[in-house]
Amino acid sequence: MKIEVPAKLNLTLRVKGRREDGFHELETLMVPVPDLHDVLVVEGAAEFSFACDEEGVPTDEGNLVVKAVRLYERETGERCSHAVRLEKHIPHGAGLGGGSSDAAAMLMVLNAVGTAKLSMERLMEMAGELGSDVPFFMMGRACWCRGRGELIEPGEVEEMDVVLAKPGFGVETADAYGRWTGSRELRGVRYEVQRCGSVELVNDLERPVFEKFLYLAELKMWFLKQPEVEGALMSGSGATVFGVLREGAAAEAVEERLRAEMGEDLWVWSGRVGE
């Protein structure tokens, strides 16, 4: 079987402080990006194996897909006898939740084909054990996520056209959060809340990430200078920055200008999010 596994964007991301368990208290509005997706190919086999078509993506016990399999096996006592192949289309280290989405899909597949038939409540708890973004991907819709990401409430996001851009480097999530305390705003960079329809665009992780990766601050400001763009933001902990287009604006024109002015090596994608 083949399962399309969507990316996500953080439209709002507020960091409330560090918790006693070492994680950070969050309030984030996330929306799936269904047309940007990885593909999980799951086939019956004598024993579990995992492979990925993208060089550099770990395929050992540190990969979230493998962690999801091991967690399911421990929880149910069932052995996973499937060959799993991951076709990567969501960039790694991009703040688009590719690994978390892959893990959530793997949990759902195992529960669908296995005999244990765990409740959705238990699957959500297991998703929270795997990572802060994984519970969101179990929902399949826009959601507010609080706590460290495990407290989920459905949200509403009107449809919007977006252009995504990611440079050739990634950002480590742990480093971004670790540098949040004491981070400062860069002069000339806009961090304030931007309103796009009913959505407020703001990301508290821009401060620590932009301090370290000045190019991402430049990329956001480039978006905000374009006449087609209503708002711009970094997604998650980066390194993807996206622009929300004004109604009727042509994404192709923005993409062409983006590559010409900010670098041909950029990964660029455009499409629609919201519901």
Number of H helices, E strands in the chain: 8, 12
133 is catalytic: yes
DSSP symbols for 98-167: HHHHHHHHHHHHHHHHSSS---HHHHHHHHHHH-TTHHHHTT-S-EEEEETTTEEEE-----EEEEEEE-
Cβ neighbour number for residue 125 with a 10 Å cutoff: 14
Is residue 126 within 8 Å of residue 111, measured between CB atoms? no
Based on the residue annotation, tell me whether 35 is a catalytic residue of this protein.
no
The active-site residue out of 38, 102, 133, 204 is: 133
Tokens encoding 274: 């919201």
Q: Tell me which residues are annotated as active site.
A: 8, 133
